[in-house]
């Protein structure tokens, strides 16, 4: 029994020694594996050349993060993208802010209600750009913003029509004082004393020098003598004195004219009784606008200058001299009416020459902008005086043959919305 115990003890000690040896072997193997793996590069990096390892070890370049104000467009930048000149006429139940009774500055040919126009629906519409809302004209805010400023609207009788509209709207706050007129009362100037604001209209239908032989009703006794390389000094002499200028031309270039350059007659437009080269009005309009735009773009003028595109007439079944009328009493939608060929040609010339001038003006720091009011005006065939350019034309004979005016605009009328657009650009923009 003693022998068996001794033998059992020896066997147990042998097993323990064996376990100890095995444990030491495992620990050595583990240590070796850990040490071995910790002193080697990862397999992928071992296969990469040293130069590439260095590049990977460098931190990435910092990302240039824009300031918050540049990450999202400013509100005014969004507004600038709005096309103020593409839209629709929508009902305006409140109507115009003035009447022909409240404003004494309306010339008789545009005073449609006083002249007996029977319908009034044309007064209750407003222009609505499709991409944004523009508020109605605010005469008090306009006057405050334009304190100590000078305005000039340069062009033909449409420009005079426009100035009357602007003055009537501003007169709801203060009555302007007329301080100047030329001999024919075509160029005038008004002053708003409380705001020291001056607004002028300068009659210069061609913008270049011209000798015109026609009466107030447009009846000519001879062709216009047009000097394509000479400025009309009525506006260039005072050009630098104005803070804001709107100039325009167009329809007058359709008249019969003799063209002069370098003090020499070079041709004409529609002069069958003259032995002259027929150059056409497109030639003359290009030449004149190039000359005028070059003057403006290189003038170093510090104010704001706008070129207004020519506005279309709406004569139907003839022209002003051949029985044409404009009988519509409501606006039309885009696509329901097209520009006449002559109006389209004038507009194409204007856009082409303006685009070239705008590049040069921007390069020279001159603020030249386009007032593209053609479409806005095209959609309002109902806004003209028609036969009511004269006082009660049918009072004596309801079937009387009367000359119609389908070019100028009734006051109040659609032309008032031109000022809504202008205010949005110069005051709210």
Clarify whether 314 is annotated catalytic.
Answer: no
Task: Pull the structure tokens for residue 147.
Answer: 């304190």
Find where tokens 């097209």 sit.
Answer: 338
Clarify whether 119 is annotated catalytic.
Answer: no
Q: What is the pTM of this model?
A: 0.81
- H or E segment and range at residue 29: helix 2-38
Question: What is the CATH class of 92-428?
Answer: alpha beta
Q: How many CB atoms lie within 10 A of CB 228?
A: 23
Q: What percent of the chain has pLDDT over 70?
A: 81
Give the angle 149-152-153 at the CA atoms, nearest 5°: 140
Q: 80 pLDDT band (50/70/90 cuts)?
A: low
Report, as an integer, the average pLDDT of 55-69: 32
Which residue in 73, 210, 82, 188 sits closest to 134, CA to CA?
82
pLDDT at 214 over 90: no
Q: Write down the mean pLDDT value for the chain.
A: 85
pLDDT tens sequence across 316-356: 999 988 999 999 999 999 999 999 999 999 999 999 999 99
- H or E segment and range at residue 268: strand 264-269
pLDDT tens sequence across 175-209: 999 999 999 999 999 999 999 999 999 999 999 99
Domain borders along the chain are: 2-57, 92-428
Q: 389 pLDDT band (50/70/90 cuts)?
A: very high
* pLDDT in the model for residue 70: 33
pLDDT at 74 over 70: no
* CB-CB contact of 349 with 284 (8 Å): no
Q: Which member of 187, 304, 408, 417 is catalytic?
A: 408
Q: 43 pLDDT band (50/70/90 cuts)?
A: very low
Clarify whether 181 is annotated catalytic.
Answer: no
Find where tokens 């030491």 sit.
Answer: 24
**pLDDT, greater one: 338 or 42:** 338
Q: Which member of 156, 405, 416, 420 is catalytic?
A: 405
pLDDT tens sequence across 116-139: 999 999 999 999 999 898 999 999
* pLDDT in the model for residue 79: 42
């Amino acid at each position: 029994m003693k022998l068996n115990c001794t033998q059992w003890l020896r066997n147990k000690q042998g097993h323990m020694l064996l376990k100890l040896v095995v444990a030491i072997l495992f620990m050595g193997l583990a240590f070796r594996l850990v040490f071995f793996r910790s002193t080697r590069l990862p397999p992928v990096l071992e296969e990469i050349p040293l130069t590439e390892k260095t590049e990977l070890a460098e931190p990435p370049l910092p990302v240039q993060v824009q300031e918050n104000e540049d990450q999202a467009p400013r509100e005014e930048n969004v507004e600038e993208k709005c096309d103020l000149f593409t839209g629709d006429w929508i009902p305006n139940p409140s109507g115009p802010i003035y009447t022909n009774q409240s404003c004494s500055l309306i010339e008789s040919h545009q005073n449609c209600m006083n002249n007996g126009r029977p319908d009034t629906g044309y007064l209750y519409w407003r222009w609505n750009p499709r991409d944004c809302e523009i508020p109605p004209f605010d005469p008090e805010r306009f006057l405050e913003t334009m304190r100590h400023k000078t305005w000039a609207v340069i062009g033909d009788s449409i420009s005079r029509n426009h100035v009357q509209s602007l003055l009537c709207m501003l007169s709801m706050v203060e009555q302007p004082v007329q301080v100047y007129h030329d001999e024919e009362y075509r160029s005038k100037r008004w002053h708003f004393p409380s705001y020291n604001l001056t607004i002028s209209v300068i009659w210069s239908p061609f913008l270049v020098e011209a000798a015109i032989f026609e009466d107030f009703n447009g009846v000519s006794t001879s062709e216009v003598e047009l000097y394509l390389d000479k400025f009309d000094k009525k506006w260039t002499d005072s050009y630098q004195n104005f803070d804001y200028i709107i100039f325009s031309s167009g329809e007058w270039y359709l008249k019969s004219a003799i063209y002069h350059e370098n003090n020499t007659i070079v041709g004409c437009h529609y002069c069958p009784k003259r032995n002259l080269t027929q150059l056409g009005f497109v030639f003359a309009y290009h030449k004149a606008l190039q000359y005028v735009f070059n003057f403006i773009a290189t003038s170093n003028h510090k104010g704001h200058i706008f070129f207004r595109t020519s506005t279309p007439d709406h004569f139907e079944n003839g022209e002003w001299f051949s029985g044409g009328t404009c009988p519509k009493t409501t606006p039309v939608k885009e696509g329901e009416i097209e520009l006449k060929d002559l109006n389209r040609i004038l507009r194409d010339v204007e856009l082409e020459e303006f685009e070239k001038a705008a590049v040069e003006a921007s390069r020279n720091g001159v603020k030249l902008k386009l007032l593209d009011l053609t479409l806005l005006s095209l959609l309002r065939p109902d806004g003209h005086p028609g036969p009511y350019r004269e006082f009660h034309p049918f009072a004596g004979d309801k079937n009387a043959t009367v000359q119609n005016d389908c070019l100028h605009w009734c006051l109040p009328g659609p032309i008032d919305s031109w000022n809504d657009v202008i205010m949005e650009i110069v005051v709210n923009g």
